[in-house]
Structure 1
Amino acid sequence: MFDSQALDSFKKSGDIVARLRREVGTIAKPGVPAIKICESLEQKMRDQGGKPAFPVNVGINEVAAHYTSPPGDPLTVPPGCLAKIDFGVQVDGYVTDTSVTVCFEPKLEPLVQAADEALASAIRAFRPGVRLSEIGRVVQTIIQKYGLRPISNLTGHKIERYTIHAGKSVPNVAGMNGARIDEGEVYAIEPFVTLPKAAGAVTNGSSAYIYRYVKPKGATTEDSRKVLAYIQANFSTLPFASRWL
């Protein structure tokens, strides 16, 4: 269980996230550079007393997750798209993780509605003792009710201090992960929805712009040791972006 200091940190990070969720629609618009969305939200977190728990992700259309702008990124939000803005705030290592989908194409609105309803239903079902596979069944049932398809290999996840993905995953389909929810755990529930004729699974892109410190390796020069020390001091084991260095 968490002590009062940890709960205060969670509350502060959650309050920042709640405020920023309301601002995403004013920031993410067609024609706006993705890097501006990332850096604007990240700076707002710092201005309000938090820090980014991970680099802001901007997923356009078929890019479901885990894309953040590299330095000099030319990507802009195109008209008629579906944009997923995934972000999190940490205060003293206690993380609040969220995502906002902004839709600029009316025909794609059912994907947003399905994800919102699946999330609300999963939250109602989420309690100690419930198997995570049951949460996956709830999410899948709601998404399929809309005639859409869940993405099977993207999941929610347990969160621990300074750790975004802490072992247990929250599936979006039935029959995966029979582990039970334990009292005192913290989770991000992340329904991912795609079109009915899509594959229902994602593949990794060819480039990576998000990193995480695991252990020192190959720091043989003074400059590389300085970079490593900066990463350890500023990000601990949380993800970071190349543009932050």
Structure 2
Amino acid sequence: MSMDDRVCDAYREAGALARKVLRRGAGLVKEGVSLLEMVETTERMVVEEGAQLAFPLNVSFNEAAAHDTAMPGDERTFARGDLIKVDLGVHVDGYIADTAMTVDLGNHGPLVEASRAALDAAIAAVRPGIAAGDLGTIIQSKIEGHGYKPVANLTGHGLERYDLHAKPMIPNIAMNGGAILVEGMVFAIEPFATTGSGRVVEAPRVEIYKQVAARPARLPSAKRILEIARPRRGLPFSRRWVPGDKVDLGLSTLVRTGVIHPFPVLHDIQGSFVSQAEHTLIVTADGCEVTTR
């Protein structure tokens, strides 16, 4: 797999911006701060830096692992004891950087370190010829060595132009085989460590969607949604981004007709805590280049 200089430079630019904005955005996570204010400020930083969001900023509390973001008019605030995952995606001309970190407002240091150590160990093993399943073995071993469980049904994923979940899949648990890494592959590794069951389930609440089919819409609210979704070329968008009224009616209609796909909030058992760490990397001839570090 080859990658020309223009494409490589776009991935690098997206990675550098994602790294910068993630650190600044995560720095806003403090006791008493509004979630909505933090999310909108961080998303605005991406645009001000000259890039675009690859997906709505994910900010997931405590047992939630992924797919949460601020609701319209969200009144949630960060509180003492919270464990907050901040997951940012940036794209430059469709070339994506995906990176995440966990902000500890409590006493969860060992859990935060478990996902971070697993990510570092997996990155160190990346090279052409290694199987994705071997990376899962490394991730699981590191997390369990810290006394926690990996989240088995969440994975890392390939990143192609305007495609956030391409091949290869990078498991967070040991498995035989999987994709063999080759030079030029671009993907995100994202270990999740949990004090809970080790599996996430879908919550009823949905804030994030993506367009998966092109069909006409009659409802004014559905038309407004598609005006937001179409230019994103399949990248996810937030309910919060859609102006006007009756947005939920438009969303439910488009989901029912198969035009958009919902991403429910994913969470482990109530009362548990989940940590996350994530970087994007490009496989090189003798290892990898981490674009977001």
TM-score range, shorter chain: over 0.9
Matches within 5 A, 1:53-64: 53-64=54-65
Distance 1:193 1:27 in 2: 23
Q: In 2 relative to 1, CA 37–222 (structure 1 residues): closer, same or farther, beyond 3 Å?
A: closer
How far apart are 1:199 and its partner, in Å? 0.8
Contact 2:158 2:186 in 1 (8 A): yes
- Partner SS state of residue 204, structure 2: coil
1:34 has 2:35 as partner: yes
Q: Give the aligned length.
A: 241
Distance 1:155 1:35 in 2: 27
How far apart are 1:36 and its partner, in Å? 1.5
Q: In 2 relative to 1, CA 222–68 (structure 1 residues): closer, same or farther, beyond 3 Å?
A: closer
Distance 2:171 2:101 in 1: 19
Corresponding residue for residue 171 of structure 1: 171
1:242 has 2:234 as partner: no
Distance 1:67 1:176 in 2: 31
Deviations 1:50-104 (A, max 9, x none): 1111000111100111101121112211211111001111010000000011101
Output the TM-score relative to the length of structure 1: 0.93
Output the TM-score relative to the length of structure 2: 0.78
Corresponding residue for residue 19 of structure 2: 18
Matches within 5 A, 1:102-141: 102-106=103-107, 108-141=108-141
Contact 1:171 1:177 in 2 (8 A): no
Corresponding residue for residue 200 of structure 1: 198
Matches within 5 A, 1:206-225: 206-217=204-215, 219-221=217-219, 224-225=222-223
Contact 2:65 2:200 in 1 (8 A): yes
The structure with more strand, counted as a fraction of residues: 2
Distance 2:177 2:205 in 1: 29
Matches within 5 A, 1:26-105: 26-105=27-106
Q: In 2 relative to 1, CA 242–177 (structure 1 residues): closer, same or farther, beyond 3 Å?
A: farther
Deviations 1:133-169 (A, max 9, x none): 1000000111111111111001111111001001331
Deviations 1:4-54 (A, max 9, x none): 221221121111112123313421111112222211111000000111110
| One-letter amino acid matched to 2:121 | S
Greater mean deviation of Cα atoms: 55-64 or 179-188? 179-188
| One-letter amino acid matched to 1:210 | I
- Residue identity over aligned pairs, in percent, reads 38
How far apart are 1:222 and its partner, in Å? 6.1
Q: In 2 relative to 1, CA 181–207 (structure 1 residues): closer, same or farther, beyond 3 Å?
A: same
What RMSD in Å do the two structures reach over aligned CA positions? 1.6
Listed as ranges, the gaps of 5+ residues in structure 1 are none
Contact 1:139 1:172 in 2 (8 A): yes
- Partner SS state of residue 154, structure 1: coil
Corresponding residue for residue 228 of structure 1: 226
Distance 1:13 1:140 in 2: 29
The structure with more helix, counted as a fraction of residues: 1
Q: In 2 relative to 1, CA 207–129 (structure 1 residues): closer, same or farther, beyond 3 Å?
A: same
Distance 1:222 1:26 in 2: 39
Distance 1:148 1:62 in 2: 14
Greater mean deviation of Cα atoms: 14-23 or 133-142? 14-23
- Partner SS state of residue 90, structure 2: strand
Distance 2:148 2:67 in 1: 22
